[in-house]
Amino acid sequence: MSAATAPSPVFDHLDFVRAWARNLAELLSQPPGAQLACEVLSRIPDNAAARSEGDLWVTAALSGALSGELAFRLAPADARRLAQRYEGKAEGSDEAVSQDALLALFLKAADLVSTQLKTSGKDVQFQVAFGESPSWTPSATYYVQASLTTQAVVEVVLNEALITCLQIAPAHAGISPLAGDPVIGKLGMFMDVELVVTLRFGGRRMLLKDILDLCTGSVVELDQQVQEPVDLLLDGKLIARGEVVVVDGNYGLRITELLSNHG
């Protein structure tokens, strides 16, 4: 098995799925050095098998610098071909899927993605296991098409929590120490400093007498429309805008605009 090389750091959810695809391709390349193509598609390919009760699901839960879940769905025939390819066996036999080999493939891919995320200063752990169809509603779906002897398709679904984390990550993408630059290198000293960020839904100037008249049940109308983006503030300075989402029962912000000049 050839050693996978570490591509550039990943951040948004499409790059995240592409990182998985690159690593799966490298791990499935047989003989070593013969690069296998794994293409990421946003629409289901024509050759994909229809969903069935016999499909295999591999789930991955993230913890650490990123949180959330993703899951991989494989038709039995595709799962068998991937496992055979990973073990270096001839594809196409009707033997049962080697679940040990299939799980080892995704565990190794998760380890490689974790290593690549560390290059951006994000320590992420993966818990990978076989599971059932996710109970959560997918917020993004992609299809990884692997060019084996016959093409195999892996459906990849991500939940809202993971997408939110990955969309916030680019705000820190430029803050990685660069070799040979003493000024930028010193930024590494501050990477573990916690900062407080605030969501601003709007504001309003009020007369003192109106403020004194406030009581339980009073409604204060803000100067911002419901459809307008919400502001993200760092120490009172505007750094990003986005839309409000709910993540595991908590309010969150999906970043739609990052302000390079920080307001």
Tens digit of each residue's pLDDT (9 = 90 or more) over 98-114: 889 999 999 999 999 99
CA–CA separation, 132 and 135 (whole Å): 8
For the chain, state the CA radius of gyration: 23
What mean pLDDT is predicted for residues 68-91? Answer: 89
Domains and CATH numbers, the chain: 13-168 (3.40.1550.10), 194-258 (2.30.330.10)
Residue 39 has pLDDT above 80, yes or no: yes
Residue 190, pLDDT score:
67
Q: What angle do CA 70, 76, 78 make, to 5 degrees?
A: 75
CA–CA separation, 263 and 220 (whole Å): 26
Which pTM value belongs to this model? 0.60
Residue 191, pLDDT score:
65
The residue ranges of DSSP E strands in 136-229, in sequence order, are: 140-147, 151-158, 197-200
- Parallel, antiparallel, or unpaired: how do β-strands 197-200 and 230-234 relate? antiparallel
Give the ranges where 29-170 is alpha helix by DSSP (H): 76-87, 99-118, 160-168
Residue 200, pLDDT score:
86
Contact 147, 158 (CB under 8 A): no
CA–CA separation, 115 and 6 (whole Å): 8
What mean pLDDT is predicted for residues 170-176? Answer: 41
179-204 pLDDT per residue, tens: 444 544 555 566 677 788 888 888 88
Residue 60 has pLDDT above 90, yes or no: yes
228-260 pLDDT per residue, tens: 888 888 877 888 888 888 877 788 888 888 775
What single-letter DSSP state applies at residue 45?
-
CA–CA separation, 122 and 107 (whole Å): 19
Residue 169 has pLDDT above 90, yes or no: no
3-state secondary structure of 75: coil
